[in-house]
Amino acid sequence: MKVLVVNSGSSSLKYQLIDTSSDAILARGLAERIGMASGRLKHVSEGRSELVLEQPIPDHVTATDLAFSALVDPQHGAVSTLDEIEAVGHRVVHGGEKLTRAVRIDDEVIRAIEEMSALAPLHNPPNLMGIRACLERMPHTPQVAVFDTAFHSTMPPYAYMYALPYELYSKLGIRRYGFHGSSHKYVSARAARLLREMGHEGDTHIVTCHLGNGCSATAVVNGRAVDTSMGMTPAEGLVMGTRGGDIDPAILPFLIKKYGWSADELETLINKKGGLLGLSGASNDMRDVEERAGKGDARSRLALEVFCYRVRKYIGAYAAAMGGLDAVVFTGGIGENSPTVREMCCQGLEVLGVALDPELNASGRGERCVSCEDSRAKVLVIPTNEELEIARETVEIASALQVG
Ligand code: AMP
């Protein structure tokens, strides 16, 4: 089945056309700077030259129109008509407690996604703009919403509840939801398969570490998420590019009293000024931070250490939460590409049976095991593929519709 996967952000729209019979990417593209004075669409279809269009893109409908024109373009496209696209899968960040699995999009689903915007004001509204634009242009093609939160819906209450007055949960839905679900689902399934191929028998206890611009760790037992580091919003947990993750909550009222900061200013502090950027004072990009640390910059070194120490603490905590550890998975731009980060994250984990092989860790590409042969818990590097996961879930829903 040819599935278009759409990831619509506030000022960008990313898409991939995937043939799920072979997992081949037939085309991919990115419309950037939507709503700004100058916009750009970059599109490339398999085996064809790249198309770059520089022009204002006032809204998401225009962005999808440009993407659709590129997809059917005789020179740069991948299909002859849009009818060849059998389903569209949309990444939606927050499904809350109502939308805990992928669903076909209808008016009721749109209303539920709108309701969840209260918990994800930066993400759900732009996701909806992409959905509406595609519905307008492809009204007869099944459109499916795949939620970042859905994989985590199997967490037990003692893992997702905050110890706050219960009414804050029952009235406002304040609880842990978790994000990056498609990534954690994809890599944990791959990891379980690799473990079996390596002779593992019985239950699987896996910690997946998605380390990219955003970072999160998830504890997965037999394919089911039992805990995750992001919370009601993607701000909790690990250190990220510009988000600091866990902090003492009393720091916020302290700052309000000290400086009179508003909710918006605190939001900016939490989401934009912390993490690698805040600590290093130099960059939110791990490559820069590593380079500067290597040249002796003390604050970049500190940023790297805080980042890795936090990951290590979560791996230890999740091993305890799961009652075992069979594999640690590294994925995301940092997890897949930084031997230094992987090494520092695994330091001290020998107590949990983790023995990283320094040579394997420093070399190789793609999906691989980088722990010593006799390491009780394996260390796996697994490139994530959120789009493929979304495409697969979309096919499941769309095929069921065809059968029904
Ligand atoms: P993502 O959000 O998954 O695209 O990941 C982005 C992050 O991956 C940025 O912090 C990049 O600096 C980081 N990254 C990409 N390549 C490398 C690398 N070779 N070494 C360290 N970090 C990297």
CATH fourth-level superfamily of 2-147:
ATPase, nucleotide binding domain (3.30.420.40)
Q: CB under 8 Å to 123, separation ≥6 — which residues?
A: 9, 93, 94
List residues with catalytic annotation. 148
Distance CA 162, CA 248 (A): 14
| CA 51 – ligand 1 centroid, Å | 25
Q: CB under 8 Å to 99, separation ≥6 — which residues?
A: 92, 109, 112, 113, 116, 145, 147, 149, 150
The pLDDT value recorded for residue 294 is 98
> Based on C-alpha coordinates, what's the Rg of the chain?
22
Q: Where in the chain is the domain with CATH 3.30.420.40?
A: 2-147, 201-386
Consecutive H or E run containing 44? strand 40-45
Consecutive H or E run containing 341? helix 339-346
For residue 290, which atom of ligand 1 is closest to its CA?
21
- pTM of the entire predicted model: 0.95
| Region for residue 324 given its phi and psi (left: phi exceeds 0; alpha: psi -120 to 50; beta: otherwise) | left
Which CATH number does the domain 201-386 belong to among 3.40.50.10310, 3.10.20.740, 1.10.3720.10, 3.30.420.40? 3.30.420.40
136-147: average pLDDT? 95
| CA 284 – ligand 1 centroid, Å | 10
Residue type (1 letter), 34:
I
The predicted-structure confidence for 236-283, as pLDDT tens digits, reads as follows 999 999 999 999 999 999 999 999 999 999 999 999 999 999 999 999
For residue 213, which atom of ligand 1 is closest to its CA?
2
337 touches ligand 1 (CB under 6 Å) = yes
Other beta carbons within 10 angstroms of residue 228's beta carbon come to 30
Distance CA 313, CA 11 (A): 35
The predicted-structure confidence for 334-393, as pLDDT tens digits, reads as follows 999 999 999 999 999 999 999 999 999 999 999 999 999 999 999 999 999 999 999 999
The predicted-structure confidence for 142-182, as pLDDT tens digits, reads as follows 999 999 999 999 999 999 999 999 999 999 999 999 999 99
| CA 263 – ligand 1 centroid, Å | 30
Copy the structure tokens of residue 289. 């931070």
331 touches ligand 1 (CB under 6 Å) = no
Other beta carbons within 10 angstroms of residue 294's beta carbon come to 12
Is the separation of the CB atoms in 178 and 154 below 8 Å?
A: no
Q: CB under 8 Å to 189, separation ≥6 — which residues?
A: 223
212 touches ligand 1 (CB under 6 Å) = yes
